[in-house]
Amino acid sequence: MKTGAKILVIDDEIQMRRLIQRILQKEGYTVCLAADGKEGLQKLLDIRPDLILLDIGLPDQSGSAILQTIRAAHTLPIIVLTVQDTQSDKVLLLEAGADDYITKPFGIPELLARIKVAFRHHYAQDTASVFQYKTLTLQPLSRLVSIAGVPIKLTATEYDIFKSLVRHPGKLVTQQQLLREIWGKQSLTFTHYLRTYIGQLRKKIECFPELKGFIITEPSIGYRLNIL
């Protein structure tokens, strides 16, 4: 993603705002700051940012309320800043329209990686084209996955799961989303299906040293591909 992109940071803590500003400016992003939800929404209209970093513990509005307000009119990527609480809260935020979340305290590389992924995913071109990462290629038309030129044998379900992850490269895909896409609405609680198939996928893909750790699990929430 181009540098110089505008990022809006909405956080009530001055220290956090300053820290994130420092980190992002160092990377060449343009940063604007807002101290609460009201100011944040105002700035969103005024400066039209390319991405929002949103703290969910704002004093004036709840996280999901502000997410809904933004999502009603905007499609820009939103990354939510949260403290380690229940996983179900995070799932709710993702369902409410957040693209990703990051848990405090976080490391700088983690924050930058999430921002990059969000940008890449959001501004990526059509997803029907061939996907390539290191030695791995996925050809949607022939439903073929190969590593270093050698085709990998995947079952239909394994392929569909992998394809779903590839369609949102690097982005967190929730378990619910995967279950809904692969097995349909009635199977939302069958998380053990996913575990088994992801396990099999890992065995088939991550045995190549360059692809070790390619599929990342976010416990209780979902999966993402490590494409950085």
Partner 1 sequence: MTAPGKLSVFFGMAAGVGKTYAMLKAAKDALSENIDVVIGYLETHQRQETEKMATGIPQIPRRTLHYRDKTFEEMDTEAILKRHPTLVLVDELAHSNIPGSTYTKRWQDVHAFLEAGIDVYTTINVQHIESRSDDVAAITGIEIQETVPDVILENAHSIQLVDLSPEELLKRLEEGKVYLPEKAHAASLHFFKPEILMALRELALRFTAEKVDSERHQLTRYYQKNTIWNTNERLMVAVSPSPYSKSLIRTARRLAFNLNAPWIAIYINQGIPLTTNEQDRLLQNLALAQELGAEILTTTAPDLIPALAQIAQENHITKIVVGRTVNQWWHTFKKPLTQQLTEQLHQIDIYVVKHTQKRTTKSFPAITRYINADWKSYAKVFVSISGIAILSGLLTPMIGYQSVGFLFIGGVLLTGTFTKVGPILFSAILSSMFWNFFFIPPIGTFTITHPEDAAMCLTFLAVAIIMGITAHRMALREWLLHKKEEQTRILTKITESITYAKNMADCLSQIKTHSTILHGTFWLATKSETLQWHFESDKNPLSEKEMAVLEWVHAQKKSAGWSTKNLSSSPYLYLPLVAGEQSHSVLIYQSQNQQPLLLDEQFILMSIVQHLSLYLHKQFLEQQNNHLKQQEESEKLYGIILNSISHELRTPITALSGNLELLSQNTTKTQKPLIKELQEAVYRLDRIIGNLLSFSKINAGHLHLNKEWIELKELITHSIPNHKTAAIVQLNIPENYPLLYGDPILLGQVFENLFINAIQHTPANSTINLYAHSKEESMYITIEDQGTGIPPQYREHVFQKFFRLPNTKAGGIGLGLAITKEIIALHKGTIRIDENPNGGTRVEITLPPQKLPDIVKRQ
Q: To which H or E segment does residue 201 belong?
A: helix 191-205
From 64, 135, 139, 157, residue interacting with partner 1 (rule: CB under 8 A):
157
From 19, 32, 112, 144, residue interacting with partner 1 (rule: CB under 8 A):
19
Which is nearer to partner 1, 85 or 95 (by Cβ)? 85
From 2, 4, 15, 59, residue interacting with partner 1 (rule: CB under 8 A):
15
Based on the shown chain and the rule CB under 8 A, indicate whether residue 57 belongs to the binding site for partner 1. yes
Residue 140 burial (C-beta neighbours within 10 Å; 0-12, 13-18, 19+): middle
Based on the shown chain and the rule CB under 8 A, indicate whether residue 201 belongs to the binding site for partner 1. no
Q: To which H or E segment does residue 193 belong?
A: helix 191-205
Mapped onto helix, strand or coil, the DSSP state of residue 105 is coil
Based on the shown chain and the rule CB under 8 A, indicate whether residue 129 belongs to the binding site for partner 1. no
Based on the shown chain and the rule CB under 8 A, indicate whether residue 21 belongs to the binding site for partner 1. no
2-41 residues labelled b (16+ CB within 10 A) or e (exposed)? eeebbbbbbbbeeebbeebbeebeeeebebbbbbbbeebb
Based on the shown chain and the rule CB under 8 A, indicate whether residue 35 belongs to the binding site for partner 1. no
Omega before 59 cis (within 30°)? no
Which is nearer to partner 1, 142 or 220 (by Cβ)? 220
We find the least distance from the C-beta atom of residue 36 to partner 1, in angstroms, to be 15
Partners of 56 in the β-ladder:
none
Among candidates 69, 27, 30, which has minimal Cα distance to 51? Answer: 30
Based on the shown chain and the rule CB under 8 A, indicate whether residue 174 belongs to the binding site for partner 1. no
Based on the shown chain and the rule CB under 8 A, indicate whether residue 153 belongs to the binding site for partner 1. no
DSSP 48-81: --SEEEEES--SSS-HHHHHHHHHTT--S-EEEE
- 196 is written with which tokens? 């088994």
We find the least distance from the C-beta atom of residue 157 to partner 1, in angstroms, to be 5
Based on the shown chain and the rule CB under 8 A, indicate whether residue 28 belongs to the binding site for partner 1. no
| Alpha-carbon span 193 to 191, nearest angstrom | 5
We find the least distance from the C-beta atom of residue 198 to partner 1, in angstroms, to be 7
**Residues in binding contact with partner 1, number by CB under 8 A:** 38
Based on the shown chain and the rule CB under 8 A, indicate whether residue 62 belongs to the binding site for partner 1. no
Based on the shown chain and the rule CB under 8 A, indicate whether residue 195 belongs to the binding site for partner 1. yes
Q: Which residue ranges make up the site for partner 1 (CB under 8 A)?
A: 13, 15-16, 18-20, 22-23, 26, 57, 83-88, 104-108, 156-157, 182-183, 190-193, 195-196, 198-199, 202-203, 217, 219-220
